[in-house]
Structure 1
Amino acid sequence: MLKQHRKKSPRSVKCAVVTVSDTRDKETDKSGKLLHELLEKDHHKVHFYKIIPDEKSEIVQTLNETITHSDIECVIVNGGTGIAKRDVTIEAVEPILDKELPGFGELFRYLSYELDIGSASILSRAIAGVANNTAVFSIPGSSGAVKLAMEKLISPELGHIVMEINKDL
């Protein structure tokens, strides 16, 4: 059944990449560049890219802009997911979600523990869900976290997720 779903899933998804950082710019945003590369390698298109400061109001505004844009089917936010006082991405993303995909955060932390950072994975607050018929992923901003999330979780299921979101519309 899953193979049939994947066969019917779109091969190319229209994406937005949002980097949340107080220090990065377009030249130093390694994670944003990596997201672009990995999405394009898998035949997806990046229609929107922006770097914004770790400010809840700016994150909410940018999310609302992307999830209401007709050319965006998926938003991937990287950065601002830690536990420091300035890390407010999850607080901005979570209330906007119509449906949460709790398995994403659970699996991301498990894979981070097993394959990347060990017990430090308990500090990760990755989250995913659906907002306004748009897939939304919020992942840590390190290159390792981006690579792990994309290769092990997001890329293998992105077309399937978009298909499921749109099947009853």
Structure 2
Amino acid sequence: MTAKIGILTISDRASAGIYEDKSGPAISALMAEVLTSSWQAVARVIADEQDLIEKTLIELADKEGCCLICTTGGTGPAKRDVTPEATEAVCTKMMPGFGELMRQESLKYVPTAILSRQTAGIRGGALIVNLPGKPASIRQCLMAVFPAIPYCIDLIEGPRLETDPAICKAFRPG
């Protein structure tokens, strides 16, 4: 079974074509590097609008059947940064440990990591993970939490994600 992975770039400027989306492709490249099981990207680039983010997360989870949705952008303190609020609005269970670990990892590189409001949550059979907007930060954060992602997907009855243990060893108890 091919796992579908949603990659959602949330950026007013990238969605308007003012600049090239580099964050979404960074997530996709990391997935290609880490995952050995079959997967397919379902990518979207949208503006920082809470109802649009909510609608797109619902579409990716419920209609597209993505088991994992990685968002990038909209996690800071600026007025238009509403990704965590949209994520919380569509999830039935929040997974705050993801945001805690990502901030802890980012603090090794920049003191402004405390300004990040990244979170994660479950919607049906999908794990939604909010990532920062910068490609280097995306890699640092995703590599920090990815060992727990395949087991989380197992627990919500999603497809089995296998990783290349030389790059990222997925943890499954037992």
Smaller-chain TM-score range? 0.7 to 0.9
Residue from 37, 40, 51 that aligns with 2:29: 37
Task: Report the CA distance between 1:70 and its aligned residue.
Answer: 5.0
TM-score w.r.t. the length of structure 1 is 0.84
8 Å contact kept, 2:124–2:156: no
Q: Which moves more between the two structures, 156-165 or 122-131?
A: 156-165
TM-score, normalised by the number of residues in structure 2:
0.81
2:157 equivalent in structure 1: 166
Identity %: 31
- Tell me the CA shift for residue 13 of structure 1: 3.8
Partner of residue 95, structure 1: 89
Question: Would the aligned equivalents of 1:16 and 1:66 in 2 still touch at CA under 8 Å?
Answer: yes
Q: CA RMSD in A?
A: 1.9
Contact 2:87 2:121 in 1 (8 A): no
1:102 CA displacement: 1.1
Q: Residue 59 in 1 paired to residue 53 in 2?
A: yes
User: Mind listing any 5+ residue stretches in structure 2 that lack a counterpart?
Assistant: 159-174
In structure 2, the residue matched to 1:4 is none
Distance of 1:165 and 1:100 partners within structure 2: 13
Deviation for aligned residue 1:45: 2.2
Q: Do 1:130 and 1:136's aligned partners in 2 also have CA atoms closer than 8 Å?
A: yes
Partner residue in 2 for 1:153: 145
Structure 1 stretches lacking a partner, 5+ long: 1-9
Q: State yes or no: 1:17 paired with 2:7.
A: yes
Contact 1:40 1:46 (8 Å CA) reproduced: no
Higher percent of residues as helix? 1
Alignment of 1:142 onto 2:134? yes
Q: List per-residue Cα deviations over 1:23-55 (Å, max 9, x = no partner).
A: 115871111111010111223623310100000
